[in-house]
Structure 1
Amino acid sequence: MKTLIIIIFLATIGTGSFAQDTAYISRDRTTALFFKSSVKIIGKTPPDFKVRQIENGLITLKAINPDFKSVKLNIQDQNTNQVYHIPVQYSYGRAGRRIEVAGSRSIITVIRTPVTNYSAIGNQLASGKRSDVVDRKKIGGVKAWVNKLSLANNKVFFRLDIRNRSNLPYDVDFIRFYIRDLKTVARMATHEQEIVPLYSNLNKHTTVLKSKEIAKVFGFHRFSLSEDQALNIELYERNGNRHLYLQIKQKDLDDLQTINPAPQQPANTLVASLNKGNYKRRN
């Protein structure tokens, strides 16, 4: 009886399934998924994108129709029988990357510390007129400003204003943030450190209509810059070419405004968090 229980337990481990981060694809760029061992695609693949298995451990993705809804691609490891559920979404700017896929494990932790009231900070910075502008850019009737650079609970926040004075609506595809050297030597590899906001009040599908203006707030873990570095902010238009590129430089961080919002009540619940090291991206 004990032997049977052990066999069932080991079989259960071998057929575990893991959720992965999103793989972004477009019609112009091919996204590649690399696996450490031989894999196969299970189930049907949607007709909106092309899936090709180039090698045992290499699968490529490319979009056919840009308007498909987010779906999950199920891929099984032939050695361990583990199933990876990889969400696939259309995005012009984030497509065309090499993605290494590996297993993950869940860790149960107890949160007992006060939680930063990010919504209160976002509402405070989004209200009122823009001020203390650190950078601005304009293209095709669309203009963006970085302003209200602030520090709250050891986190860095800023406001991004977007105004549209063209007749054509401006659909926001996504906004990318990364730290890079201001000057790069020709023929040398450029090192980029991509950072992800821990807070954003930007909706997934945001459109700025003619003569309209929006103010969105982003928050990050505290970061620092050297004199020859900048935080780059890339704003991409969905199905268009009116992309905006803004920067926050080291000198802009010297005059951070301090915000002291009231913290939320301490949370006392069990949460499962995925190991962030399981899914690495490289351009």
Structure 2
Amino acid sequence: MKKINARMVMGFFLFLFGLNVNAQSITKLPPKSIAPYPLEITYFKTTNIIFPSAIVGVDRGSKDVLAQKAKGAANILQLKAARDSFPETNLTVITADGKLNSFVINYTPKPSVLNVSMKERDNKNSIFLSPGLVNKAEVTTYATHALYSKYKGRKVKHRKYGIRFGLNGIFIRDNLMYLRLTITNTSNISYDIDQLRFFIRDQKKAKRTASQEIEITPVHIQNKVTKIDGRSSQTLVVAVPKFTIPDKKYLAIQLFEANGGRHIELSVKNRTIIKAAVLPKLQINRKYTYQ
């Protein structure tokens, strides 16, 4: 009987030991990861990355990489080296289809490839983000709520050429930020809007200023207007992916007049961004989404 009890006790300890080993092996399993896409860039040539959807966010691992969206093409990112022989770094790009794209960047005097199409790549280099980022019904509902909200917050405004351009409300809900803008035309000449663009810029410009900014692409514009009649005013809400601004940078909001020279820019600092008001949770039909 004692022999049987001894065997049972030994077996029990071996069982516990086995559980402990299995638990340790499970906890040591690496998390799911994505393989970054290797990319080489140079100082004297531009490398173009073509994405299947519009670019909504770019993060550079180093200032040695200059990045900007191609003019007139929201899905093309242009890269160039700020100096030669820089150490290896990385680049992260988020697109409107909900993908995070990862790249490892190295310098070479003569890149073998200057144009890269991500349309033909598989999902090894990208992961899907929350579908709420691009839900049309959700964005429209919250943008409308922000449009009519009585909250004003910290105002940023500028007046020039008889045009008053102002930011009078910043709101946030989940992964999106809603910027409420008012355009007032105090002149008798109508103002035709050509472009409304958003950039994160360095406060102190470098020599190669064209590549020292990152453009933020709007997800949705509520009450989008193309013309401000004389002696009239319009308010709209622009939904963009949430962000904050690093030190020594600012958000530039540019308003361009079509066939005219009345261009206006707002400079928004991070202390204004972080005071965004939280929009209340609303019941929303999620049937329709952006494609």
After TM superposition, the score normalised by the length of structure 2 is 0.52
In the alignment, which of 242, 248, 270 is matched to residue 250 of structure 1? Answer: 270
Q: CA deviation at 1:113?
A: 5.7
In the alignment, which of 260, 275, 278 is matched to residue 240 of structure 1? Answer: 260
Q: Which residue of 2 aligns with 1:207?
A: 227
Measure, in 2, the Cα distance between the counterparts of 1:237 and 1:127: 26
Q: Which residue of 2 aligns with 1:148?
A: 169
Amino acid at match of 1:132: G
Report the CA distance shift for 1:128/1:222 in structure 2 as closer, same or farther (over 3 A).
Answer: closer
The answer on 1:164 being equivalent to 2:185 is yes
Q: Alignment partner of 2:146: what SS?
A: helix
Equivalent pair of 2:160/2:262 in contact (CA under 8 Å): yes
Q: CA deviation at 1:261?
A: 3.8
Q: In percent, how many aligned pairs have the same letter?
A: 23
Q: Alignment partner of 1:175: what SS?
A: strand
The answer on 1:137 being equivalent to 2:152 is no
Higher strand share goes to which structure?
Answer: 1
Q: CA deviation at 1:134?
A: 3.0
Equivalent pair of 1:111/1:268 in contact (CA under 8 Å): no
Gaps of 5+ in 1: 1-17, 26-33, 35-98, 274-283
Measure, in 2, the Cα distance between the counterparts of 1:107 and 1:268: 26
After TM superposition, the score normalised by the length of structure 1 is 0.53
Count of residues in Structure 1 that have an aligned counterpart in Structure 2: 181
Q: Which residue of 2 aligns with 1:104?
A: 119
Q: Which residue of 2 aligns with 1:259?
A: 279
Amino acid at match of 1:236: F
Q: Alignment partner of 2:274: what SS?
A: helix
Measure, in 1, the Cα distance between the counterparts of 2:149 and 2:247: 31
Report the CA distance shift for 1:266/1:127 in structure 2 as closer, same or farther (over 3 A).
Answer: closer
Measure, in 1, the Cα distance between the counterparts of 2:266 and 2:52: 33
Higher relative contact order, chain-length normalized (CA < 8 Å, sep 6+): 1
Measure, in 2, the Cα distance between the counterparts of 1:160 and 1:251: 18
Measure, in 2, the Cα distance between the counterparts of 1:183 and 1:207: 33
Measure, in 1, the Cα distance between the counterparts of 2:159 and 2:233: 13
Equivalent pair of 2:154/2:272 in contact (CA under 8 Å): no
TM-align CA RMSD: 3.8
Q: CA deviation at 1:262?
A: 1.5
Report the CA distance shift for 1:234/1:112 in structure 2 as closer, same or farther (over 3 A).
Answer: closer
Amino acid at match of 2:143: G
Equivalent pair of 2:167/2:180 in contact (CA under 8 Å): yes
Amino acid at match of 2:212: H
Q: Alignment partner of 1:197: what SS?
A: coil
**CA offsets 1:127-174 (integer angstroms, 9 cap, x no match):** 266722431111111111112111112311110100001010000011
Q: Which residue of 1 aligns with 2:201?
A: 180
Amino acid at match of 2:148: S
The answer on 1:194 being equivalent to 2:209 is no
Q: Alignment partner of 1:104: what SS?
A: helix
Q: How does 1:33-112 map to 2 (within 5 A)?
A: 102=117, 104-105=119-120
Equivalent pair of 2:138/2:286 in contact (CA under 8 Å): no
In the alignment, which of 237, 240, 250 is matched to residue 217 of structure 1? Answer: 237
Equivalent pair of 1:172/1:237 in contact (CA under 8 Å): yes
The answer on 1:229 being equivalent to 2:229 is no
Equivalent pair of 1:230/1:250 in contact (CA under 8 Å): yes
Q: Alignment partner of 1:265: what SS?
A: coil
Measure, in 2, the Cα distance between the counterparts of 1:226 and 1:19: 28
Specify the structure having the higher radius of gyration (Cα): 2
Higher helix share goes to which structure?
Answer: 2
Q: CA deviation at 1:253?
A: 2.1
Q: CA deviation at 1:19?
A: 8.8
